[in-house]
Amino acid sequence: GGQKQRVCVARALAARPDLIILDEPTSALDPLVAEEILKLLRRLQAELGLSYVLITHDLDVVHRIAHRTAVMLKGSFVAFDKTDAIFEGPYHPYTEQLVTAVPVMRSDWLDGVLAKRAAKAQAAAGSAA
């Protein structure tokens, strides 16, 4: 997985660029492979001093790799700032909608599901008796 992305990055690096445009570099990849690609991009950025223009709808990728972020709405920039600032305090209502729309995965989500199932089973067993 992710071989096409790696080949594309290698081809781009052959020209020894200062800047690489990445258009959805992790789309259609499973999370583990996507993580490997992000690690590769961060490593290359650090080792070679590369800059990236990252085009993506995946705000998790943006938050993890971008130093500065621009948010576009209908072809116009509505926000441009350090990435942490974009995520900590959106200035434009559209940016705020984007940031708050990202689901947050709780590490204890399965515990809640199992507790509800157990309570339901216990209630069903109690009413059957």
DSSP 89: S
d(CA 68, CA 45): 14
Q: Which of 104, 69, 61, 101 is nearest to 85 (CA)?
A: 69
Mean pLDDT, range 99-107, rounded to an integer: 72
Whole-angstrom distance between the N-terminal and C-terminal Cα of the chain?
53
Domains of the chain: 1-66 (3.40.50.300), 70-129 (no CATH)
Question: Do residues 86 and 66 lie in contact, with contact meaning Cβ atoms separated by under 8 Å?
Answer: no
Given a cut of 70, whether residue 129 has pLDDT beyond it is: no
The verdict on pTM exceeding 0.75 is no
How confident is residue 25, by pLDDT bands cut at 50, 70 and 90? confident
Mean pLDDT, range 70-96, rounded to an integer: 89
For 84-98, write each residue's pLDDT tens digit. 998 887 678 998 888
Looking at per-residue pLDDT, the higher value among 104 and 89 belongs to 89
